[in-house]
Each structure stands twice: as C-alpha cells, then as structure tokens.
Amino acid sequence: MRTVGTHGVLLFILFLVVGGLLGGILGDILSGVSFGNLLPVFSQHYEIFNIQNVDLNLYIMEIKFGIRFAPNLLSIIGILIALFVFRHIG
C-alpha cells in the first residue's frame, strides 16, 4: 500500500467509509427479506463503542458531542472488501 502525503490517507479513509456505508445499506435492505435464519445475523448491529452525549453549555449556545459505532456484519465485510480493493489499486 503506497500512500503519498495526505491524499493517500484521505483516499484510504474514503474507501473504508464508502465500503462500510454500502455494506450497512445492503444489510438494512436485506433485513426486510425473509430467507431463512441466516439474514438476521447479517443485519444485526454489533456495538463496538458508544460515547454518550457530552453537553457543553457556553451560555449563548449549547453543543452536544457523542459517537456511536455499531456496524452490522455486512458493514464489516464491506470495509474489508474496500481495504482489499484499495490495496490492489495502489
């Protein structure tokens, strides 16, 4: 994997995000299809980390921060495929 400067890193992150999004969308689409007992495994979300909302009150505005990462199995497979494709493109 050859990365030159920040462009390679940004392209790598873009590949991972797009792979995860496409896998997540596919998992949500397949969750409505009844095809045996296998599909619920692909559409079930697995919470990896969850940072609860943190409130910052600055008296003129209030800011809330929070991050939740709970991909389904197809999102993880999409990320792995994106990693494989990125490694073979560059």
Q: What are the tens digits of pLDDT across the range 19-76?
A: 999 998 888 888 777 666 666 777 788 888 888 889 999 999 999 999 988 888 889 9
d(CA 26, CA 28): 5
Number of domains in the chain: 1
Residue bearing the bigger pLDDT, 3 or 41: 41
Is 79 inside any structural domain?
A: yes
Full-model pTM: 0.73
Q: Which domain holds residue 29?
A: 6-89
Burial class (CB in 10 A: 0-12, 13-18, 19+), 24: buried
Looking at residue 6, its pLDDT comes to 60
Give the three-state DSSP class for 53: strand
Would 1 be classed as within a structural domain?
Answer: no
User: Is the model's pLDDT at 11 over the cut of 60?
Assistant: yes
Kindly list the distances between the CA atom of residue 63 and the CA atoms of 10, 54, 56, in Å, as whole numbers in the listed order.
27, 8, 5
